[in-house]
Amino acid sequence: MAFDIEMIKKVYGSMAERVDKARGLVGRPLTLSEKILYSHLWDGTPTRAFTRGKDYVDFAPDRVACQDATAQMALLQFMHAGKSKVAVPTTVHCDHLIQAKIDAKADLKRAKEQSNEVFDFLSSISNKYGIGFWKPGAGIIHQVVLENYAFPGGMMIGTDSHTVNAGGLGMVAIGVGGADAVDVMSGMAWELKFPKLIGVKLTGKLSGWTAPKDVILKVAGILTVKGGTGAIIEYFGEGARAMSCTGKATICNMGAEVGATTSTFGYDESMDRYLRGTNRADVADAAAAMAPYLTADPEVYANPEQYFDQLIEINLSELEPHLNGPFTPDLATPISKMREEAIKNDWPLNIEVGLIGSCTNSSYEDISRSESLAKQAVAKKLKPKSKFTITPGSELVRYTIERDGFINTFDNIGATVFANACGPCIGMWDREGAEKEERNTIVHSFNRNFSKRADGNPNTLAFVGSPELVTALAIAGDLGFNPMTDKLINEDGEEVMLDEPTGWELPPKGFSVEDAGYQAPAEDGSKVQVVVSPASERLQLLAPFEPWNGQNITGARLLIKAFGKCTTDHISMAGPWLRFRGHLDNISNNMLIGAVNAFNMKTNSVKNQLTGAYDAVPAVQRAYKAAGIPSVVVGDHNYGEGSSREHAAMEPRHLGVRVVLVKSFARIHETNLKKQGMLALTFNDEADYDKIQENDIFNFVDLKEFAPGKPITIEVIHDNGTTDTIIANHSYNEGQIGWFVAGSALNLIAAAGAATAH
Residue 369 is a catalytic residue? no
In the set 142, 162, 448, 583, the catalytic residue is: 448
Beta bridge partners of 417: 390
Q: Which residues contact 612 (CB under 8 A, 6 or more apart)?
A: none
Is the torsion defined by CA of 607, 613, 615, 618 positive or negative?
Answer: negative
> Active-site residue among 95, 180, 268, 478?
95
Question: Annotated catalytic residue: which of 33, 161, 370, 643?
Answer: 643
561: left (phi over 0), alpha (psi -120 to 50) or beta: beta
**137 close to 68: Cβ distance less than 8 angstroms:** no
Task: Return the H-helix or E-strand segment holding 270.
Answer: helix 269-277
State the pairing for strand pair 460-464/488-489: unpaired
Active site residue 643: yes
- Identify the sign of the CA torsion 669, 392, 433, 111: positive
The conformation of residue 200, written as its DSSP 8-state character, comes to E
C-alpha span between 591 and 597 (Å, rounded): 13
Q: Is 77 helix (H, G, I), strand (E, B) or coil?
A: helix
Phi-psi domain of 638 (left: phi exceeds 0; alpha: psi -120 through 50; beta: other): left
DSSP 539: B
**Do the bridges between strand 723-729 and strand 712-717 make them parallel or antiparallel, or are there none, so unpaired?**
antiparallel
C-alpha triplet 384, 388, 392: angle, nearest 5°: 140
Q: Is 43 a catalytic residue?
A: no
Rounded to whole angstroms, how far apart are CA atoms 619 and 559? 11
* 63 counts as catalytic: no
- From 4, 62, 107, 160, the catalytic residue: 160
Rounded distance, CA 136 to CA 275, Å?
A: 25
Cβ-based neighbours of 687, under 8 Å, separated by 6 or more: none
Q: Of 94, 86, 49, which is closest to residue 69 (Cα–Cα)?
A: 94
**Is 95 considered catalytic here?**
yes
Cα–Cα distance measured from residue 415 to residue 397, given in angstroms and rounded to the nearest whole number: 17
- Given the residues 40, 93, 162, 645, the one annotated as active site: 645
Task: Indicate which residue of 96, 398, 637, 647 is catalytic.
Answer: 96
Residues annotated as part of the active site: 95-96, 160, 448, 643, 645
